[in-house]
Amino acid sequence: MDIFFGLLIIFIACIVIWKACDGFEDASGFLGRNMKGGVKGATIDAIGSSMPELFTTFFFLVIAGDAKGFASGIGTTSGSAVFNIMIIPAAVIISVIVINRTVSFINVNPKVILRDGIALMLAILCLIIFVSENELTWKHGAFLMSLYVVYVVSLLFIKMDDHGDEHDDYEYEAGEGGRLKALLHLDLSHAIIGNKEMNTGRAWFLLLASTGIVGAACHYLTIGCEMLGHGMGWDMYIVALIFAAAATSVPDTIISVKSANNGAYNDAISNALGSNIFDICFALGMPLTVYTLMNGSIPMEGDDTMAFIGQFRIILLILTGVSTLIFYIGAKRKRLGAKSGYFLVTLYVVFIIYTLAYRYSPEAISGIQDALLQINDFLVNLNPFHKV
């Protein structure tokens, strides 16, 4: 019964998160309507659609309160990051090229790919090298958050043209009918704003209300993951890597697909990459800072937990490098087409198969695990402050 109710809770939470993030998208679209060059996708869209990862990581820490809680946070953010860089661009490509047949290839600014791809890989490297102590404190969380601040500030100084953004004009349609009907349909924007036009005050109120609802849904998402893990006999961080990661990535996918169908290809792709930067830096950093300030440091002990964290961080780094290369070459040659989308989906399927093998048949992938852990140990030892 735990499996059934766990999956049911996860499914319902996923729907609520999706609809609440629709409201967030309406609000963020208005507030960021004048941003150009993929900046909106990398910041406002990325932050809004990554609220589920932040809340989910925090609740995993609260529920477990130890290294497994942090590992579950790593699982959520890493799994979500892999989903973002594989499934979201694939969904964008398939939606625009295969389903709607709007264009024959996605026209993305290579500079946007290079900017966000390099920033993401640097963030993952910092996560591996500098957040690998025997115990985690608020300083590690503060360090991760400072990386995101540096990234956002850098966006103000890196000039980008509008290449890849064809007609991303913000549009908001005022609601029709009563607010109660809109609420029953989980149409948060119309339930809150009603038949009125969007303005700055209403946009901020909608933004905050959407964030609160996302947070509540993520609380139940973590409960569902805990029940599912108990029923299946899985560690919570494995459940988080597959189920919580996919559930929290639904808003990113929807926002990117909508942006692409509106011609904003830069925002569609930079949302996926920017969301990952926010996930790694803030969705891990902020919960870690708040939790350790309130409850003290988290001892990072246990071979299983550390092995999980070590190898899946390296997998994330490798897949990020591969996907960034695919995006950049495709954008440079103007060949980011359907084949690229299908290849990215295939990579994600391989990632899921590896995760299941890690749980059910670790001996079959022992050689790969050893290689990944050796790479992780090498990078960790680059930290001059690391305690052996």
Q: Provide the residue-wise pLDDT of the chain in tens; the chain has 388 residues.
A: 788 888 999 889 888 887 887 787 778 777 776 665 456 656 666 676 677 888 888 887 776 666 667 777 777 888 888 888 888 888 888 888 888 777 777 777 888 788 888 888 999 998 888 777 777 888 888 999 999 888 888 877 766 555 545 444 556 665 566 777 777 777 778 887 877 778 888 888 888 888 888 888 888 888 888 889 888 888 877 888 888 888 888 777 877 787 777 777 777 777 777 778 888 888 888 888 888 888 888 777 665 777 888 898 899 999 999 988 888 888 787 777 788 889 999 999 999 999 999 888 889 999 999 999 999 989 988 887 666 5
Quote the CA–CA distance of 21 and 162 in Å, as a whole number. 26
Instruction: Tell me which residue of 241, 242, 249, 248 sits closest to 89, measured CA to CA.
Output: 249
Pairing of strands 298-299, 135-136: antiparallel
Q: What is the pLDDT of residue 97?
A: 83
Backbone angles phi, psi at 262, to 5 degrees: -90, 5
Quote the CA–CA distance of 79 and 324 in Å, as a whole number. 17
The greatest distance separating any two alpha carbons of the chain, rounded to the nearest whole angstrom, comes to 64
The full length of the chain comes to 388
Locate 185 and state its tokens: 């349909």
Reduced to 3 states (helix: H, G, I; strand: E, B; else coil), residue 135 is: strand
Q: What is the pLDDT of residue 170?
A: 56
294 CB-contact burial (10 Å; exposed 0-12 / middle 13-18 / buried 19+): exposed
Backbone angles phi, psi at 373, to 5 degrees: -70, -35
Q: How many helices (H) does the chain have, and how many strands (E)?
A: 18, 2
Do 135 and 386 form a contact (C-beta atoms < 8 A)?
A: no
Q: What is the pLDDT of residue 1?
A: 75
Q: Provide the terminal-to-terminal Cα distance of the chain, rounded to the nearest Å.
A: 44
pLDDT in tens, 74-114: 778 888 888 888 888 888 888 888 887 777 777 778 887 88
> DSSP for 261-273?
HTTBHHHHHHHHH
Q: What is the pLDDT of residue 167?
A: 46
Q: Tokens 């708040």 label which residue? A: 290
DSSP state for residue 364 in the 8-state scheme: G
Q: Tokens 């809004």 label which residue? A: 48
pTM of the model as a whole: 0.81
User: Which amino acid, one-letter code, is at 30?
Assistant: F
Reduced to 3 states (helix: H, G, I; strand: E, B; else coil), residue 136 is: strand
pLDDT in tens, 27-80: 877 777 666 545 665 666 667 667 788 888 888 777 666 666 777 777 788 888
Q: What is the pLDDT of residue 19?
A: 81
Distances (CA, A) of 159 to 39, 155, 162, 168, 169: 10, 8, 10, 19, 21
Q: What is the CATH number of domain 2-380?
A: 1.20.1420.30
Chain-centre distance of CA 369, in angstroms?
Answer: 24
Quote the CA–CA distance of 35 and 38 in Å, as a whole number. 8
